Structure formats: C-alpha cells, structure tokens
Amino acid sequence: MQDAGELLKSVFGFDAFRPGQAEIVEAVSQGRDVLAILPTGGGKSLCFQMPALMREGVTVVISPLIALMRDQVRALKAAGVEAGALTSGNTEEETDEVYRAANEGRLRLLYIAPERLASAGTFNFLRRIGTSLIAVDEAHCVSQWGHDFRPDYLKIGELRAALDLPVAAFTATADAETRDEIVARLFGGRTPEVFLRGFDRPNLALAFKVKDQPRQQILSFALARKGQSGIVYCGTRAKTESLAAALEGAGLTAAAYHAGLDAERRREVERRFQTEDGLIVVATVAFGMGVDKPDIRWVAQADLPKSIEAYYQEIGRAGRDGLPADTLTLYGPDDIRFRRQQIDEGLAPLDRKRADHARLNALLGLAEALGCRRQVLLGYFGENPEPCGNCDLCAKPPELFDATEPVRMALSACLRTEERFGVGHLVDVLVGRRTEKVTQWNHDALPTFGVGKARSTREWQAIFRQMMARDLVRPDPERHGALVMTEIARPVLRGEESVTFRKDALGRQKPDPVVRAMIDDEDAPLLAALKAKRRALAEAQGVPAYVVFTDRTLIEMAQKRPDSLDAMAGISGVGAAKLERYAGAFLEVILGEAPPAEHPARRKLAGRAEGQIYDRLLEAQVELMRGPDGLDKPLSCPGSLLRRLAEAGPEQMPRLLDERRMERFGPRFLEILREG
C-alpha cells in the first residue's frame, strides 16, 4: 500500500492533511466501513480519492450530480489519475474510453449516478472490473428524513450486499436522525466508524434580515460586493429570471439557473461560473451540490430555505477556500406560510410532516435568534461554541424584552380554543375582533377574548412567530396547521419559567402592498391538505388535478368545512358522480377520520330535501319496528323502499307499502310525508 503522505504531495500537491482528513483516509484505505460528516469545503473528496489510489481495484463513487462528477474526473485526470464517469451527459467517445480503461485494468475511480444502479447489468459490470470500495458522496440523499432525498440512493445498500464491499459515506450535513437512517440503509446492519468533524465554518459571516423591499436588499448586498463571485438562491424559477435581470440592470454580471432551462443553457452557466470572475448566478436549489468553486465570496438567500439543513448546505457554497465570505438570508411571513404549505400539501406521512415542521421551526429559531447566530446554528447540530463575533447579532445585539405575559396569553388562547386553530384566529381572539368565525365558535365568550388588545395584530403575529421559533407551539399537520402547545411551553404557562423575545421583531416590518388572498390564513392549512389529497387522487388516475376538483371547489370546502355527505353535496362543483367517487376521501381530510358509512340508497339522496325525509322515515321505522308496544315480530323496510317513499310523496304510499307495512308504519309515515 502506497504511503498516504507521499501520495498527498505527489498527486494532490498538498503538504499536509486538513484537520480530520488523515484519520478518515486511514480507516477507508484499510477497508473499514466509514460514515464521515465534514463541513462543506472540509475536503471530503480527498477522503475517498486518496484511499482509491492506496488500494487495489476500482473505487466506485456514487454521486448525485453530473457536473460535480465531471469536474472531479477532470481534476483527477489533470493530476495523472485514471478516472472516468458514466453519465447521461457523456459523449459516445467518453463512454467508450471509460469501458476501455475499466476492461484493461487501468481505471482507479469510476463515478456513476445513483440512477445507473437500476440497470440490471450494472452490478455484474462492477463485479467484473474488480470493484473493491464503494464511496457515497452526499450520503444524506439516502435519507427520507433528509432535505435532498433521492430514491435511487436506496439501491446502494443492495449493491453493497451483492458485492460484499466496504462502504465509505460522506456528507456535509446530517442531524442524528438522518445519520441513523444513513447507517441503516447503506451499511446493512454493520456499524461504521463515524467521523464527525464538526459543522463550524468560522470564515462565513452570518446575517438575516426581514424582507423590506427584498429586491433592493439583494441589489444593495450584491453591489457592495461587485466583482466577487456570488450566488443568489430563490424559491421559484420565475424569480431567478427577474432578479438576474435586475442585477444586470444595476451593472452587475448575472445569469439565471433553474431546472426549467435546457441542458445546454445550464451547462453554459455552469461553465461561465467556473471560469469567470465576478459572475452572479441567481438560482433555485437546482444549482447546488454540483457547485465546486472554491472562491465564491458570498451567498444570498432571497427566500427562506425549507430547513436548517438546506440553509447550511446553501450558505456552504461560499468560502470553500477558507477565506472570508458573506451570507445573507431574507425572510418574511409569506416565506413561512409558503414553506408550511409545501409541507402540508406534500404526500409525506404524518410523522415526516411533523418532523419537517420542527426543522422549519429550527430555522425560524435561527432567524429570530436572541444572540450569536453561530451558537444557535451549531447548537442544532449538537455543538456548543463560544460567540463567534462574525454574525450580525454579535456585531449589533438586538434589544430584548420580557415576553412571558403575552406568551402566556397566547398559550391560553390556544388551549381555550382546544388547539384547533391557527395564528390568524388566535390573534383575532386575543385582540377582541368579532369575526364570523369567532362568533360561530362562541370564542368571544372566552376569558382570553380581547385580553391582548393593547398590542397590534402585527405584534401578535411576530410573537407567535417567535413562539414557533422557540418551539413553544407547533403547527399540527393532522389538524390542518392548528397550533398545539409543546411540553417545553408548560412551565411558561404555569408561571415557572420566563421567556425573552426580540423587541425589534415586533415593529421592524413595513406594511407590504395589500394582496387579495383567495382564502383566509385560518383556512389555508386545510386547503393545503385538500390539495394534497387531490394531488394523490389525480396522480393515481393519471389525470390533471382540476379533473378531480377545481381550486374554487376546494376553497369552498376549506371555508365551509362540510361535515357530511349532505353538506358536501352543497359545495359548488361537487356533482353526483364526484360526490359518489370522492366525497368520502375529502370528508376524511376535513373531519380527521372516515365519515360514518351510509346506506347506498341514502347516499343517492345526499344534498336533497328528500334525504332529510329519508332520515325521519328511518327514525320512525326504528321506533315502530316491533310495533307500538315493542312486543310484535320485527318488521322493516329496505333502504331502497324508504328512498322511493321519500321521493314519491304521500299519494304514492299506498302503492309502495304492502298491507303489513301499511298497518305498522302507515300513519307515522304519512304524517312525515305530508310535513315534507
């Protein structure tokens, strides 16, 4: 086995390993199973490239992005290492050369995308060329709890079992839950050596700002760093295009990047970013793990990421060379609402949705931090650093206030309304606003009604936002986003603990232009759940979502909350066929449980006056089933007969009832039918 230090210098040109690298290289080169979590820019690639040169055979590297693989292959070839990649982006000549090098025994590292593992011949090919090690880059993609889940990563475990090889897995970010799933899915019951090198990137300056003319905020941030390479992350494709144009208009060099662009356009932006100084790429998360540019001097997030892990990954593109780099994250109420909606409308199981809300709460905790942001960020990953002096809150500590009393008011409102409502309704109760919903539920009679009227609606919204950031309350996906109190809030409610919040968060936001909303915030979580159900049904049938129900119909459902087939039949757009086919599924979403089963004859009368007549006939029948004194032989009418009676009216009753039923039920039925 070749000496690691000698290879490090002769092949890679480094005089010494970075902290933590030497131990990982030793473990991997000796064929031990390894899970290594190193910060972005911490030198993960070297930790499997070096052992590949120290061991016999081929090291197969499974990586999620073509651009990253091609960059690493080019760098290795430039260093004199026989490496190749089998990707959909290869030319025919490139693919032929990879196979030739593999068959001749020259290949040392082979990069493949996880999707290639679905091919039946891949396992045999890898066995035939003498594969001796499996390296997995961006290993968090195997975790369904992770933020970049890739289903094809699940086949890596099958490959390990089929070839019986050691696995070295690498990622820059994985909390304890994600690490456990990586171990379970990649190592097949074997316990790997875990190297946790820490998550601190001390060269990154961290800053958050509440959105206030966000386009101008991004422009100002970028103009102050003119000539430096940077990335602006946006939540939508359209925003990347418009913001890139705005940056160009301000005299900066910028390009948009998103998955909707054709492959050639994306490759051109990637090429320019790698080769040009001062280019700003305005991108969705599609521009992510494949970025391997060491001198990105700043990253701005124009919209709030979906989790603290996603935040860490995105800012981690900056300053990989170890030199100072700046980050800025903008956020506002619309971001939070959008991310909640994404979670609620998703098709993930309930426990996953709850975990995703908790991850988003953790990111809000970072955004609304009281002190050093780095302490909050690294605390999430289990570390306990000193204040960094390199974040906006260390530079200018925020003004704080004792929020115990308003928090107790808010918790009381939450509990007294049975934890069934979201922020909008709770604020209405606290400020004493008699909305239709407040009076409908008699919440204007609660002791908490109007108790917080000394504060504005905006202040209460900020208080609830900070409560979620401190994990005192959480949206419950099972209750369509209603806030539920957590255990850590109970001592606060009982007056045993105090709470401190940021004062600037209560009044720093300027009013945004009023946008007419299709639906109240209070009903939005239920609408999200209804849309998720519609999406699942539409995908199962292979039809557009509107074929199931239109948005207008779902909005009406969310507003009126029908609790029966009769009520559902009164919703615009719910005809008889759709009532029969879909009503049960959507009622289950609204009610939180399957609606009671109804006789098919009664279902056909749903939403019609005859349905109420049917119900009264059925009640009368139950009372008289054994006669007036309860001693006669049981007698009843089939559901289909009750339906015909309800539809026909009193004149037709003698024709529909036989002599026995006429004698038993006739007088009462006639009375019901005449009353209509």
Which of the residue ranges 74-83, 220-229, 288-297, 319-328 would you say has the lowest mean pLDDT?
288-297
Quick one: DSSP state of residue 138? Answer: S
CA distance linking residue 494 with residue 492, whole number of Å: 5
How far apart CA 415 and CA 541 sit, in angstroms, is 41
Residue pair 49/133 in contact (Cβ under 8 Å)? The answer is: no
At the topology level, CATH places domain 4-196 in Rossmann fold (3.40.50)
- List the domain boundaries for the chain: 4-196, 204-395, 400-511, 522-597, 609-675
The token duo for 478 is: 């099972």
Backbone angles phi, psi at 202, to 5 degrees: -65, -20
Q: Which residues contact 537 (CB under 8 A, 6 or more apart)?
A: 548, 582, 585
Among residues 471, 500, 502, which one has the least CA distance to residue 488?
471
Residue 298 parent element (H or E):
strand 298-301
Q: Which residue has the higher pLDDT, 108 or 355?
A: 108
Domain 204-395 superfamily per CATH: P-loop containing nucleotide triphosphate hydrolases (3.40.50.300)
Q: If you average pLDDT over residues 98-115, what whole number do you get? A: 92
The per-residue pLDDT for range 476-498, each reduced to its tens digit, is 877 777 899 999 999 999 999 99
Which tokens sit at 90?
């290869």
DSSP string, 25-84: HHHHHTT--EEEE--TTS-TTHHHHHHHHHSSSEEEEE-S-HHHHHHHHHHHHHTT--EE
pLDDT above 80 for 303: yes
The CATH fold of domain 522-597: DNA polymerase; domain 1 (1.10.150)
- One-letter amino acid at 291 equals V
**pLDDT digits over 185-233, tens only?**
889 878 999 998 778 889 999 999 988 899 999 999 999 999 888 999 9
The secondary structure of residue 399, as a DSSP letter, is P
Q: To which H or E segment does residue 482 belong?
A: strand 482-485
Matching residue, tokens 């007698």: 635
Encode pLDDT of 316-365 as tens digits: 889 887 788 999 999 987 888 888 888 888 888 888 888 888 888 889 99
pLDDT per residue as tens digits for the range 444-488: 999 999 999 999 998 999 899 899 888 899 888 777 778 999 999
Q: Do domains 4-196 and 400-511 have the same CATH topology?
A: no
Average pLDDT over residues 154-160: 88
- Whether residue 170 contacts residue 36, with contact meaning beta carbons closer than 8 Å, is answered with yes
Sign of the C-alpha dihedral computed for residues 5, 10, 15 and 18 taken in this order = negative
For position 146, what pLDDT does the model report? 53
**Which pTM was predicted?**
0.67
3-state secondary structure of 17: coil
Q: Could you tell me if 40 and 317 are in contact, meaning their C-beta atoms sit under 8 angstroms apart?
A: yes
Assigned fold of 400-511 = Arc Repressor Mutant, subunit A (1.10.10)
Per-residue pLDDT band for 148 (boundaries 50, 70, 90) equals low
Average pLDDT, the chain: 87
Note whether 35 and 121 are within 8 A (CB): no
Give me the amino acid identity at 562: P
Q: What percentage of the chain carries pLDDT values higher than 90?
A: 39
The pLDDT-based confidence of 515 (bands split at 50, 70, 90) is very low
pLDDT at 510: 42
Output the pLDDT for position 333.
79
Render pLDDT for 626-641 as a digit per residue (tens, 0 to 9): 888 878 888 989 988 9
Q: What is the mean pLDDT of residues 150-158?
A: 82
384: which 2 tokens? 């306990």
What is the arithmetic mean of pLDDT over 107-134?
91
Helix 263-275 crosses helix 66-78 at what angle (to 10 degrees)? 40
Q: How confident is the model at residue 435 (pLDDT cuts 50, 70, 90)?
A: very high
